[in-house]
Every structure is written in C-alpha cells, then in structure tokens.
Structure 1
Amino acid sequence: MASQQKGENMNKEEIIKSMEKGIYYFINLYKIPQVDKEDVYQQCIVKILTSLEEFDPKKGKLDGFLMARIRGVVKEWVRKNNKKPLLVEDFYIVDENSPEKVLENGIIMEEEYQRLKMAIEKLPPMQHKVITLKYFYNLSMSEIAVFLGIHYSTVAKYHQRGLQRLRKLMK
C-alpha cells in the first residue's frame, strides 16, 4: 500500500482490504486458534478504523503505522486469553528417561537451533523470507505467495534454493 500522501483518496474499505494480508500474517504468527480467528480479525478491523484518525502522514507511512496497531491487537488478545504464542522457540523434544539426558538434549538442540538461525541469516533476502515464513511461522506456500505478492511457483523456487543453500551452510 502506498503512503497516506499517495493514498489520501483511498476509502476505508480499500485500506482494510490492503491490510488483510498483514492481519492474517499476525493471526497465523501467534497461532490464534481457528475458533477465535474471526474475532481477532474483527478486533483488528476496528483498530484500523479507530487508528485512521490518529495517523500523521508526517511521521511515516500508513501501512507501517497500521501494521504496528494490528500486531498490538493480536498480542493483546494473546495476553488477555492467557495463551502463550506458539512460536518455533517453544518446541523442544524431551527425553523423559533421565534429567541429565533432558539437559544434554536441550543444550544440543539449542546449539543446533542457533546454527540454523545463523545459516538462515546468510540466505539471500527472498530465500530468507520464504524459509522463515514457511518453517518459523507455519505458513503454507500459497499463503506465502499471497503475503509476499509473488506467484506460487516463484515461492517454490525460493524455497527449494533456500533449502539447498541451507544444507550446504549447515555441513
């Protein structure tokens, strides 16, 4: 979406439509349960509408301003519902046989996770985005295509090349 200077003639419906991808991005990022997604979506729409009056074009672009507000709504919903967001960092394999083994496995996994994170940071920007959205935020390839505004096959190519490069970097 263009900045407010370019988009002053946009009506509220167009603004909401342009922010839809961002709303679903944060809803999926924070793993909002399916039964609650519509409620959170509606809260985001209300926040967009109430925030339009507060926007000052001298301070930046409208889309960045609204994305921050949308993220705040989703994070607030998670806090109010005492539901911790399920991000990748929350998943650890636990061997319950012995405390020593659990600690050892946790340390090894953390080291591997840090190596993987560093390798992902070395990827070209689009490969980095696709890999991150796919594996850290659990978006499907088609969702990634919509979010990034590129064709599905392009996403598949970035994904394939990113995985190949990661394999080389992790050796």
Structure 2
Amino acid sequence: MRNPWVHDDVPDDTGNGYDGPVRLLAAFMWGSLALLVGGFVLLSGAGVVDLADGGSLGEVVTGVVAALALALALPLLLKLLAISRALALLAFLATGATVGRFVLAREPERFRALLDARDQLVENADSLGGLFDFVDSMSPAVVDGATAGIDVVTAAAVAVPVA
C-alpha cells in the first residue's frame, strides 16, 4: 500500500505537477509560512510587534526572519526571471528594500555603531595618510643616514684585523 503523503502522485501523461493531498499540503505549508513571515515583517516594521528590545535574542529573531523572507521570495524571483528580467529586477529591488528596511528598523543601534566606526576609520585614515607623508618627506634623509652607517660599519670591519 502506498502512502500518498510520501509518494509523488505525478501523472505520467502531463508531468507538470503534483495531484491530491501533496499539492494541498504544499500549498498550506508555503502559504502559512509566507503569511507568518510576511505578517511578522509588516507588523514589526510598523512597530506593533517587538519580541525583544535588544540583546542576542532580538538579533537572532531579526536574522532568522530576514533569511526566511529572502528564502520565500527566491522562488517568486526565479519565476519572474523566466517571464521578464526587468520585472524580476524590480521585484528583487523591492524585496531587498523591504527586508533591508525591516532589519534597519529592528537593529538601529547596530547601524549607528557601524556609522560611528566608519567616522573613526576616516579620522584614522587621515592620520595614517599624514604618517605616510611624513615617511615620504624624511625618506631621502633616512636613506642617506643608512648608507652612511653602512659605510662606517664596513670601514670599521676593514680596519680591524682578523686574528
């Protein structure tokens, strides 16, 4: 006896999909997952739902929901790519903007810290550039001093007899 939930009920003549309870189960699971993730993204972006104010649990929830949203959008994007590249690009940009806005709304302090680090990096790069300019300006004197030191060492080595 075959289990219809495990075995594929694909007709041999059409070959374009599943029939029976497998299709119903797949539609239910994909639909409920899409509603759950989409609803959470929309409600969280609107500020209605906030599972964690901060900490590692909030970051994990944000990462998991963003990854699920992108994973749910991928089959749609691939289907649109078969229809039109422009339509797929538009859907890709809209999906990226929606998920990006969701992540930015959930983790604003992380992005503020990233912007502060960027400003500090720019200041450090300016001081590092000043250091490179200083080394470039003193390099002829250093080369002259190093060659003079080498000359002194070789002259001393030649003057000392080896026993």
- Flag whether TM exceeds 0.5 (same fold): no
- TM-score for the superposition, normalised by structure 2: 0.29
- TM-score for the superposition, normalised by structure 1: 0.28
Higher relative contact order (CA 8 A, sep 6+): 1
Q: Which structure carries more helix by proportion?
A: 2
